[in-house]
Amino acid sequence: PALQKAADLFARARHAVAFTGAGFSTPSGIPDFRSQSTGLWTRFDPMQVASLSAFRQRPEAFFNWLRPLVSAVSAAQPNPAHQALAELEKRGLLRAVITQNIDRLHQKAGSQTVIEVHGSLNQWDCPSCRAAFTADEALGSFLPDGPPPRCPRCDVRLKPGIVLYEEMLPPKAWQAAESACRRADLVLIAGTSLEVAPASYLPSYALENRARLILVNLSPTPLDPQADVCLPMDVAQALPAVVERIQ
Ligand code: OAD
Ligand code: ZN
């Protein structure tokens, strides 16, 4: 009945948006941050490894943390949850995917309107000359165990185009995400603990306008009490099951 109710909400929505987090990609083999025992932040202190100051002052710790993540992301393929969102968009039932993920799997699955509020591992930037490189251009022999990528012109270490702790969110992506949420009459939140601000504020722009809320997450979140439908399920099972039930 909960799956059918979610399907009915999609069928009736005129401006549905999705908001996804790391739990969306765990079925693709990429670890999330806060799941008990498997989450990256159970083993690492984010400020020590994933901050701008770590990148600048402790590059060894930074790139030792990043390397397995780059490796997992390079090997990952979209899962049925990513495919379900691409299918919803194709059927005109989803306007945008707002994601905190840096793995490009929504795009790989065929989603067209993807707003990356935490950047992506596909872009690498030179902090000195500002040149931008794709992962293919930048990574060289970084995987499996080569040195961190450097700018061919400046020879300084390239920074991955992901939002680090102590950094601002990219303003264009933020504005696009905010306006998509303000227009939304239905929000699907999936695979995010909603613990990281300011990204976690985005759904509230939709809820202020009385948007309906579908929440799919294995563990409880602060917005569970506000959800019209709460599915404590694996996204890779829940989302195809919802799409299947849309008339
Ligand atoms: P979290 O690790 O905080 O939350 C992931 C949530 O997904 C958890 O609540 C899990 O219970 C749930 N989950 C895991 N696998 C799932 C599955 N297969 N199906 C359903 N739910 C599942 O990840 P995010 O909320 O994305 O920021 O984290 C937000 C930000 O914190 C990240 O973007 C990153 C991190 O620090 C930056 O790097 C700036
Ligand atoms: Zn440079």
* Span 175-231, pLDDT tens digits: 999 999 999 999 999 999 999 999 999 999 999 999 999 999 999 999 999 999 999
Question: What pLDDT is attached to residue 74?
Answer: 96
- pLDDT at position 14: 97
CA distance 194 to 217: 10
Distance 138 CA to ligand 2 centre (A): 12
Residue 220, H or E segment: none
Pair 76, 103: CB distance under 8 Å:
yes
Place of tokens 């795009």: 107
Ligand 1 pocket member 33 (CB < 6 A): yes
CB-based contacts of 189, cutoff 8 Å, min separation 6: 18, 19, 20, 203, 213, 214, 215, 216, 217, 221, 223, 227
Predicted local confidence at residue 129, as pLDDT: 98
Please count the other Cβ atoms lying within 10 Å of the Cβ belonging to residue 46: 15
Residue keyed to tokens 């490796």: 71
Of 15, 82, 106, 118, which one is the catalytic site residue? Answer: 118
Q: Which ligand is nearest to the CA of 129?
A: 2
What is the reported pLDDT for 88?
98
Identify the H or E element spanning 170: none
- For tokens 């099951």, what's the residue? 241
Q: Which residue numbers in the chain have pLDDT < 70?
A: none
The CB of 195 under 6 Å from ligand 1? The reply is yes
Tokens standing for residue 11: 């069928």
148 lines ligand 1 (CB under 6 A): no
pLDDT at residue 22, as a whole number: 98
**Ligand 1 centroid from CA 34, angstroms:** 6
Quote the pLDDT of residue 183: 98
d(CA 187, CA 215): 8
35 lines ligand 1 (CB under 6 A): yes
Percent pLDDT > 70 in the chain is 100
Q: What is the pTM of this model?
A: 0.97
Return phi, psi of residue 142, to 5°. Answer: -55, -40
Residue with CA closest to ligand 1 atom 9: 193
User: Active-site residue 106, yes or no?
Assistant: no
Q: Is residue 128 within a helix (H) or strand (E), and if so which, with residue range?
A: none
Please state whether beta strands 159-162 and 119-125 pair in parallel, antiparallel, or not at all (unpaired).
antiparallel
How far, in Å, from the CA of 199 to the mean position of ligand 1?
12
